Amino acid sequence: MNAIIHLEDIRKSYFMGKQELQVLKGINLDIHTNEYVALMGPSGSGKSTLMNILGCLDSPSAGRYVLNGQDVSKMADDNLADVRNKEIGFVFQQFNLLPRLTALENVALPLVYAGVGRKQRTEMAMEVIQKVGLEERSHHKPNELSGGQCQRVAIARALVNNPSLILADEPTGNLDTKTSKEIMDIFTQIQEAGNTVVLVTHEEDIANYAKRVVRLRDGLIESDTRKPELVGV
Ligand SMILES: Nc1ncnc2c1ncn2[C@@H]1O[C@H](COP(=O)(O)OP(=O)(O)O)[C@@H](O)[C@H]1O
Ligand SMILES: [Mg+2]
């Protein structure tokens, strides 16, 4: 079993008083290294909940999650945070950049937490900033950057630790069509460079960049399809 993500009967419920809301109702899914997966489904179907579990931001109520060979389903929050910092690069719809830091400083931030020294941090951050084509903007703060540029910063930040998995929840949700294409081209580059990419979108155009589409409905996987040109390869 060389799946980077292995999910067995993953369930997640929220309680509103005594009322149980079942959001994920038994998800089974394997994702292998270097796959490019789009997670789709109507609003409220559980996409973000599943992504948060995949990204170790949240734990399932039941079921088993093996990430890169490590069972993380019942891990305590501290250990989960360690795994998250090491294994996962997360990109959000809202960019989630720190407004007082420059692009370079935002990108270098995960390295601060990882205990990397200043000089090496700057070098590593600059390298990924170049990858996303933002070297000219590295000393600008988020409010001096366009939405697309902010998302590039967020992608560079997700890459800087060299994580085994890149997760993106509606990464183009706040961007116009042209900028969305530019951002999706970056995800394609990232995947072609050997990374594993899982992204959530409700737009077919965006899902088309991926090579496998998993559809959720009502907390269950409704379909799981690979691009025809890849079948049998
Ligand atoms: N922290 C929470 N507490 C209670 N209900 C939640 C919480 N997070 C999500 N939900 C509910 O779970 C369902 C699925 O949400 P979500 O995973 O965000 O769906 P999607 O991303 O597919 O739109 C929704 O009905 C939502 O209201
Ligand atoms: Mg969502």
Position 230 scores a pLDDT of 53
Dihedral over Cα of 176, 182, 185, 187: its sign: negative
Residue 139 structure tokens: 């000393």
What is the whole-number distance in angstroms between the Cα of residue 115 and the centre of ligand 2?
A: 32
Which residues surround the ion ligand 2 when the cut-off is CB under 5 Å? Answer: 47-48
Tell me how far apart the alpha carbons of residues 5 and 27 are, in angstroms, rounded to a whole number: 12
Q: Is 23 inside any structural domain?
A: no
Q: Is 2 inside any structural domain?
A: no
Contact 91, 155 (CB under 8 A): yes
Task: Please tell me the total count of domains within the chain.
Answer: 1
Domain that holds residue 118: 34-59+76-226
Q: Is 20 inside any structural domain?
A: no
Q: Is 113 helix (H, G, I), strand (E, B) or coil?
A: helix
Average pLDDT for 134-148: 97
- Report the chain's mean pLDDT, rounded to a whole number: 94
Position 2 scores a pLDDT of 75
> Which ligand 1 atom minimizes the distance to the CA of 41?
22
Average pLDDT for 151-168: 95
Residue 213: strand pairing partners:
38, 225
Check whether 60 has a pLDDT greater than 90.
yes
> Which ligand 1 atom minimizes the distance to the CA of 169?
21
What is the whole-number distance in angstroms between the Cα of residue 198 and the centre of ligand 1?
A: 19
| CATH at 104 | 3.40.50.300
Contact 55, 197 (CB under 8 A): no
Check whether 109 has a pLDDT greater than 50.
yes
> Tell me: the pLDDT tens digits for 162-216?
998 999 999 999 999 999 999 999 999 999 999 999 999 999 999 999 999 999 9
Q: Is 123 inside any structural domain?
A: yes
Q: Is 7 inside any structural domain?
A: no
Q: Is 83 inside any structural domain?
A: yes
> Which ligand 1 atom minimizes the distance to the CA of 43?
23
Q: What percent of the chain has pLDDT over 90?
A: 89
Position 231 scores a pLDDT of 53
CA atoms within 13 A on the CB side of 63: 22
Average pLDDT for 118-123: 96
3-state helix, strand, coil in the chain (%, to 5): 35, 30, 35
Average pLDDT for 52-60: 94
Q: Is 176 inside any structural domain?
A: yes
